[in-house]
Structure 1
């Protein structure tokens, strides 16, 4: 088995059960709301939950909520200002192929809280940060796939300036122009990735950084997670797997492998930050794993 895939699979066997427990262990609150299979119904349900201050929305199993027109600016759905849980069962929230406007799918305001479970977020394409999701509040992703989103700014999959927690989540095939093909983690932001993977994400702009993750002064922790086959493809671009500009990165029992950058390093770029590797493999990245990084990456070779 490919070592990177082996790392990805660690701990995922029980992920569904744990994610289910996380989604159902809620305090006493208003009755969950079943959301019919339409984008209009989902927009209305989020608006009502915001107004109430909180709510649990149960998506119609297997539904594709296809959004054609943004509700405002570049937000496909109403901005999350309350404490909202969206529980899916193989659902997809996506930008409709026929849509002409550019927009992301979800936007969490400062002070807002959003928990997603059992669904896919795809197709967002705003010009601003956060191709799929922009978060300034608290965002929790349990068994979620964030895929095939793009942005002209930072964070092709997720742009985080608040608190981001993932569990058994895959962030894949997203693209950013400025940096952070998979995730952009801003100054003072916190991202904690558990049993999750970031694969095949790309940052394309000249001198862009972080094909998988760009940590710009915040804190990133990874546990039993992987970054594989991500790329920084623009002229002078580096840190195909992860790049940190200031801030801290701590990876425990993770794998950073098969990532690529135009300019070394291809695996981990540390520019004035602190990177800690605990039982973490960094290998098969090109043109180097960590060599060429402006600041050292202890425990990483070549």
Structure 2
């Protein structure tokens, strides 16, 4: 994609990590006491230590970050292989920005950088023009989220990726990305590398450009997930795909909105050399509020879409068609496109779609 790129020092002695013996899988583990100083110290030590390191968060702790650790980031930049695991006991751990100063929560940078987050919440970050209000992952990095909530982050100053901006390899499982905002594209998740998202809900996110929920180029695999109630000021309220090779399987795309007077695609919009396949996917009750149609799907001139065993129903656009607006190549296989308002498909003929 072209647009795609607490405690005082007197507590310092207690704010260090307690190093445990290596786990059975040879990863060093550290218990992180409940303070921002402890978390920062633990990450700094893990970055410097050889091999993978796991940081275990204090049960029920909210790590309030009141000032940046380095320009633009609340925590030390992740440059090695680090896993941060929240407690499964009681309230889920939270890592959040608190106060008036703007900074994102995590940045992952460098060829050896690997960050895995488990069982925690990342919230209230505010990124800069590099994007990633909550998390920014650079080229060549690996970012993995398991049972993580990324919520109420903002990518400011024309930055993409309100919740997450990925330029490397992103894996998201059993997670929620919600109520994030991008002043550019990708309100929830932006990716111009490789993204594999499964069993995840992306909801209530918004962007002032394309992709209210997800904006992606490169490769995308989206499986057994939900894109709901996201909004893009331009194209692709739910999903915006540009120069992407992707598959969407067993996924609900519902209640998303695209607003501006460009190819709308309230649910999905494709542009550029995109090849996108939908399998057993529901595109339902999305809206296009511009003047070019495609309340459910807008398929661009150079894009190819295949829909198998899916449905495009009850979508709305202020201009025809309400279902699928197609300027490229699209194939429907056992996929009804019905009950869209004001019409189902145009401007080119789509076999299997009748108005």
**TM-score bracket for this pair, using the shorter chain length:** 0.7 to 0.9
SS of equivalent residue, structure 2 residue 316: coil
Q: Does 2:149 match 1:120? A: yes
The alpha-carbon deviation at position 135 of structure 1 amounts to 0.9
TM-score of the superposition, structure 2-length normalised? 0.68
- Contact 1:121 1:147 (8 Å CA) reproduced: yes
Q: Match for residue 106 of structure 1?
A: 135
Q: Match for residue 310 of structure 2?
A: 280
CA distance in 1, matches of 2:330, 2:154: 34
Q: Aligned ranges for residues 6-85 of structure 1 at < 5 Å?
A: 28-52=25-49, 54-85=52-83
Aligned with residue 199 of structure 1, among 228, 238, 242: 228
CA distance in 1, matches of 2:56, 2:263: 42
Q: Which runs of 5+ in 1 are unaligned?
A: 1-25
Q: Per residue, is there more helix in 1 or in 2?
A: 1
SS of equivalent residue, structure 1 residue 292: strand
The alpha-carbon deviation at position 237 of structure 1 amounts to 5.5
Q: Match for residue 141 of structure 1?
A: 172
Q: Which runs of 5+ in 2 are unaligned?
A: 1-22, 103-125, 128-132, 338-343, 345-355
**CA separation of 1:284 and 1:109: change in aligned 2, threshold 3 A:** same
The alpha-carbon deviation at position 61 of structure 1 amounts to 4.4
Supply the RMSD in Å over aligned alpha carbons.
2.5
Q: Match for residue 163 of structure 2?
A: 132
The alpha-carbon deviation at position 42 of structure 1 amounts to 3.8
CA distance in 1, matches of 2:160, 2:26: 33
Q: Match for residue 283 of structure 2?
A: 256
Q: Which has the larger radius of gyration?
A: 2
**CA separation of 1:240 and 1:168: change in aligned 2, threshold 3 A:** same
TM-score of the superposition, structure 1-length normalised? 0.79
- Contact 2:299 2:325 (8 Å CA) reproduced: no
- Contact 2:303 2:329 (8 Å CA) reproduced: no
**Cα deviations by residue, 1:115-142 (Å, 9 ceiling, x for unpaired):** 1222211122122111111111112112
SS of equivalent residue, structure 1 residue 115: strand
The alpha-carbon deviation at position 298 of structure 1 amounts to 2.1
The alpha-carbon deviation at position 210 of structure 1 amounts to 0.8
- Contact 1:199 1:212 (8 Å CA) reproduced: yes
Q: Match for residue 6 of structure 1?
A: none
> Greater RCO between the two (CA within 8 Å, min separation 6)?
1
CA distance in 2, matches of 1:231, 1:73: 35
The alpha-carbon deviation at position 73 of structure 1 amounts to 4.9
SS of equivalent residue, structure 1 residue 244: strand
Q: Aligned ranges for residues 140-179 of structure 1 at < 5 Å?
A: 140-179=171-210
The alpha-carbon deviation at position 57 of structure 1 amounts to 3.3
**Cα deviations by residue, 1:135-194 (Å, 9 ceiling, x for unpaired):** 1111211211111111111111111111111222111111111111111112xx212112
Q: Per residue, is there more strand in 1 or in 2?
A: 2
**CA separation of 1:244 and 1:107: change in aligned 2, threshold 3 A:** same
**CA separation of 1:109 and 1:281: change in aligned 2, threshold 3 A:** same
Q: Match for residue 291 of structure 1?
A: 324
Length, aligned pairs only: 271
The alpha-carbon deviation at position 198 of structure 1 amounts to 1.3
